[in-house]
């Protein structure tokens, strides 16, 4: 369905509401000349389905990655950055453990 200007959507609101209610997957896009974004009219069944799917995807991902532990070094941060860059490039870092 093509986006509908706000003035037309207001005049056709009962029809558009019934359309969204009868077709849970249908998205009625409404534009407004004073808004930078469009809005969508959908059924609550569609919204709940999207929320359920999002919850399933989050469950599949598991907990967020957390780096544990800490370290300290006498090397300046620039040396460590250079060593990491060297490792990513496949070279041997100039900063070696115990230096």
Tokens of 88: 């990513």
Q: Per residue of the chain (99 residues), what is the pLDDT tens digit?
A: 799 999 999 999 999 999 999 998 899 999 999 999 999 999 999 999 999 999 999 888 877 777 777 777 787 888 888 888 888 888 776 655 555
Tokens of 20: 């969204």
Distance CA(97)–CA(99), nearest Å, equals 6
Q: Which domain holds residue 25?
A: 4-61
Helix (H, G, I), strand (E, B), or coil: what is residue 92?
coil
Query: pLDDT value at position 63?
Result: 78
Query: pLDDT value at position 93?
Result: 65
Distance CA(87)–CA(3), nearest Å, equals 51
Q: Give the end-to-end CA distance of the chain in Å, rounded to a whole number.
A: 66
Query: pLDDT value at position 50?
Result: 94
> Mean pLDDT over all residues of the chain?
86
Question: pTM for the complete prediction?
Answer: 0.56
Distance CA(2)–CA(26), nearest Å, equals 12
Please check whether residue 50 lies inside any domain of the structure: yes
The CATH number linked to 23 is: 3.40.1620.10
Query: pLDDT value at position 6?
Result: 95
Query: pLDDT value at position 33?
Result: 92
- Whether the CB-CB separation of 53 and 47 falls below 8 Å is answered with no
Residue (of 14, 23, 67) closest to 45 by Cα position: 23
Please check whether residue 85 lies inside any domain of the structure: no
Please check whether residue 73 lies inside any domain of the structure: no
Query: How many structural domains does the chain have?
Result: 1
Please check whether residue 8 lies inside any domain of the structure: yes
Query: pLDDT value at position 99?
Result: 52
């Amino acid at each position: 369905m093509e986006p509908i200007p706000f003035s037309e959507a207001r005049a056709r609101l009962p029809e558009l509401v019934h359309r969204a209610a009868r077709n849970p997957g249908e998205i009625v896009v409404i534009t407004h000349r004073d808004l930078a974004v469009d809005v969508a009219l959908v059924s609550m069944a569609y919204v709940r389905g999207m929320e359920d799917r999002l919850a399933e995807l989050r469950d599949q991902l598991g907990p967020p990655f957390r780096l544990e532990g800490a370290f300290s070094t006498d090397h300046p941060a620039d040396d460590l950055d250079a060593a990491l860059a060297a490792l990513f490039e496949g070279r041997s870092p100039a900063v070696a453990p115990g230096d």
